[in-house]
Amino acid sequence: MKISGKTKITGLFGYPVEHSLSPAMHNAAFEVIGLDYRYVAFPVHPNFLKEAVGAIRALNLAGVNVTIPHKEKVITFLDEIDKEASIIGAVNTIVNSEGVLKGYNTDGRGFMQSLFECGISVEGKDVLIVGAGGASRALSYYLCKEAKKVYLYDIEKNKASKLVEDFDNIFGNIFTLENISNIDKFNILINATPLGLREEDPLPLDTTMLRQDQIVCDLIYKNTPLLKEAAKKGCLILNGLGMLLWQGVFAFELWTGVTPPVDIMRDALYKNV
């Protein structure tokens, strides 16, 4: 993979980013279709987010993905926000168009496409999302369009309340929970917290009450302790690899105007997971 002064750079802003599979996924696609682009993971400490966003313009990067913990705070430093991302209140993709930085959100579409691929429908279902950060906002926006009801729980109750407040006037079927002791009443359960990145992390919810007809999703792209316990209960499980793939596909299109080779990106993910 040759790099020259003409090579366009894309990347990832997050903290941490060492575990990210996005460089392998995007660089495999760039190489196969012969695009002179490269993707780099940049560890951006929260104290330097403003400077990092300014560097997109200063260094003429083509654009970047944005991940934990920057998806909401980055909005302040952008020139324009896509309408959907503005409603969601979080950005995971930035495009640099001749110095104008515009934010988009491809997380929600990516998650819904991953469900579709697995034959999972949320229509008429009751859904629980644990965690009310940027990814949760994107999921909630799409899930509320199809699900019967969407419930939010976060240990920081004000975050969940703010999310519900923002979406309630649009959808009217989203609610906060004070606790998640009765998880058996939900059809689909989603972990949108970082719990599970490390093996020593506590479970984000009590798995003893899971039923075998429930669907358990984890946005973390590995077989987390939550998913292992849910599998033991006979639940249908889904990790975050599908969402990672499809949000990346949509981001790729925004940066390049080209439809990427999805199978190549998928293969790169599974080889590096």
22-38 per-position pLDDT tens digit: 999 999 999 999 999 99
Sequence-separated (6 or more) residues with CB below 8 Å from residue 205? 130, 180, 183, 189, 191, 226
In the annotation, is 83 catalytic?
no
pTM of the model: 0.93
**Distance linking the first and last C-alpha atoms of the chain:** 21
| Domains of the chain in sequence order | 8-105+242-272 (3.40.50.10860), 108-239 (3.40.50.720)
- The predicted pLDDT at position 42 comes to 98
Cα angle value 9/13/16 (rounded, 5°): 130
For 130, the token pair is: 């644990």
Exposed, middle or buried, 120 (CB in 10 Å: 0-12/13-18/19+)?
middle
Residue 241 CA to residue 28 CA, distance in Å, equals 16
| Per-residue model confidence (pLDDT) at position 167 | 94
- Phi/psi class of residue 7: alpha, beta or left (left: φ > 0; alpha: ψ in -120 to 50)? beta
Give pLDDT, residue 197: 84
What pLDDT is attached to residue 68? 87
Q: How far apart are CA 29 and CA 227, in angstroms?
A: 29
Residue of 6, 71, 125, 185 marked catalytic: 71
- Please, which pLDDT band fits residue 19 given cuts at 50, 70 and 90? confident
